[in-house]
Structure 1
Amino acid sequence: MARTRSATPPVTPQDIDAIINQPARIQAIRRTVEAVADAVTPMVEAYRPYVEGLDNLPADGRFLLVGNHTQIGVEAPLIAFHVRRVIGRRVRLLTDRQFGKLRGPAKDLFAAAGALVGAPEPVRELMRHNEPIVVFPGGGREIPKFKGEEYTLRWQGRAGFARLAVEQNYPIVPVGLVGGDDVYRSVSRRGGSWERLSVAMAQRFSGRTDMVMPLQHGIGPTLIPRPQRMYLRFGAPVDTAKPDDVTTEEWVATVRRQTQQSIEQILADLLAVRADDPYRHLNPLAWRHGAAPPD
Structure 2
Amino acid sequence: MSISLCTLAPFGVKLPGLRLGCQTRSSLRAKGAAVTGGENVLEKTMKEVRYLDVLYDDGFGSVTLKEYFTTVRAMLRNDGGPPRWFCPVECGQPKVENAPLLLFLPGTDGVGMELILHHQSLGKVFEVRCLHIPVNDRTSFEGLLQFVEQCVKYEHSLKPNRPIYIVGDSFGGCLAISLTARNPEVDLVLVLVDPGISCAETSLQPILLPLLQIVPTILQLPIPYLAISGGGSIPQEALGFLSGNLTSAQPLVAELGHTIKWDTIMWRLKLQKLGASYASSRLHEVQAQILLLARDNLLPNRDVADRLKTMENCKVRYFRSFTDRLILDDNINLLTVIKRANMYRRCRKLDFVTDYLPPTLSEFKKTFDEDFKPYLRLLSPVMLSTLTNGRIVRGLVGVPEKGPILFVSYHSLLAIDLAPICEEFLREKRRVVRVMAHPVFYWENFASSSQELSFFTNISLYGGVPVSPFNMYRLLERNEFVLLFPGGIREALHRKGEEYKLFWPDEAEFVRMAASLGATVIPFGCVGEDDFLELFLDYNEQRSIPYLHNLIDSVNQNFSRIRDTVKGDDGNQVFHLPAVLPKVPGRLYYLFGKPIELKGMKNVLKDRKSANKVYIDIKSEVENTIAYLKKKREEDPYRSITQRALYQATWGVSAQVPTFDP
C-alpha separation between the residues in 1 aligned to 2:553 and 2:435? 29
Unaligned runs of 5+ in 1: 1-13, 220-225
Deviation at 1:68, TM superposition (A): 1.4
1:158-214 C-alpha deviation (Å, 9 max, x unpaired): 632223212212111112111123322236788x7x265268445433237634566
Q: Is the 8 A contact 1:69 1:139 kept in 2?
A: yes
1:218 to 557, 582, 593: 582
1:20 to 345, 348, 354: 354
Q: Is the 8 A contact 1:273 1:291 kept in 2?
A: no
Partner of 1:82: 424
Counterpart amino acid of 2:369? A
Partner of 2:498: 149
Partner of 2:639: 280
**TM-score of the superposed pair, with normalisation by structure 1:** 0.76
SS in 2 for 1:250: helix
Q: Which moved more, 1:232-241 or 1:194-203?
A: 194-203
C-alpha separation between the residues in 1 aligned to 2:352 and 2:494? 36
Partner of 1:34: 364
SS in 2 for 1:124: helix
2:409 to 61, 67, 78: 67
Partner of 2:473: 124
Q: Is the 8 A contact 2:434 2:481 kept in 1?
A: yes
Kindly tell me: are residues 140 and 30 of structure 1, through their superposed partners in 2, closer, same or farther at Cα, counting changes over 3 Å?
farther
Corresponding position: 1:197 with 2:544: yes
1:233 to 591, 612, 617: 591
Kindly tell me: are residues 264 and 114 of structure 1, through their superposed partners in 2, closer, same or farther at Cα, counting changes over 3 Å?
same
Kindly tell me: are residues 30 and 123 of structure 1, through their superposed partners in 2, closer, same or farther at Cα, counting changes over 3 Å?
farther
1:254 to 597, 608, 613: 613
SS in 2 for 1:185: strand
Q: Is the 8 A contact 2:404 2:476 kept in 1?
A: yes
Q: Is the 8 A contact 1:74 1:180 kept in 2?
A: yes
Deviation at 1:126, TM superposition (A): 1.2
C-alpha separation between the residues in 1 aligned to 2:640 and 2:659? 15
Partner of 2:312: none
Deviation at 1:253, TM superposition (A): 1.3
Unaligned runs of 5+ in 2: 1-347, 386-395, 451-455, 558-571, 648-656
Counterpart amino acid of 1:63? I
Partner of 1:4: none
Kindly tell me: are residues 279 and 154 of structure 1, through their superposed partners in 2, closer, same or farther at Cα, counting changes over 3 Å?
same
Deviation at 1:80, TM superposition (A): 1.6
Partner of 1:263: 622
1:93-148 C-alpha deviation (Å, 9 max, x unpaired): 10113333348888995432211112122222211211111111111111123332
Kindly tell me: are residues 68 and 15 of structure 1, through their superposed partners in 2, closer, same or farther at Cα, counting changes over 3 Å?
farther
| CA RMSD, 1 decimal | 3.5
1:34-60 C-alpha deviation (Å, 9 max, x unpaired): 232452597546754222112221111
C-alpha separation between the residues in 2 aligned to 1:136 and 1:125? 17
SS in 2 for 1:20: coil
Partner of 1:100: 442
C-alpha separation between the residues in 2 aligned to 1:244 and 1:126? 21
Kindly tell me: are residues 262 and 17 of structure 1, through their superposed partners in 2, closer, same or farther at Cα, counting changes over 3 Å?
same
Q: Is the 8 A contact 1:72 1:183 kept in 2?
A: no
Counterpart amino acid of 1:35? K
**TM-score of the superposed pair, with normalisation by structure 2:** 0.36
Kindly tell me: are residues 166 and 248 of structure 1, through their superposed partners in 2, closer, same or farther at Cα, counting changes over 3 Å?
farther
Q: Is the 8 A contact 2:403 2:520 kept in 1?
A: no
Partner of 1:3: none
C-alpha separation between the residues in 2 aligned to 1:215 and 1:38? 26
Q: Is the 8 A contact 1:73 1:180 kept in 2?
A: no
Counterpart amino acid of 1:67? S
Partner of 2:381: 49
Deviation at 1:90, TM superposition (A): 0.9
C-alpha separation between the residues in 2 aligned to 1:253 and 1:16? 35
Aligned-residue sequence identity (percent) comes to: 23
Q: Is the 8 A contact 1:52 1:293 kept in 2?
A: no
How many residues are matched?
Answer: 270
Q: Is the 8 A contact 1:176 1:234 kept in 2?
A: yes
Partner of 1:11: none
C-alpha separation between the residues in 2 aligned to 1:16 and 1:285? 45
Corresponding position: 1:292 with 2:659: yes
SS in 1 for 2:659: coil
1:183 to 532, 535, 539: 532
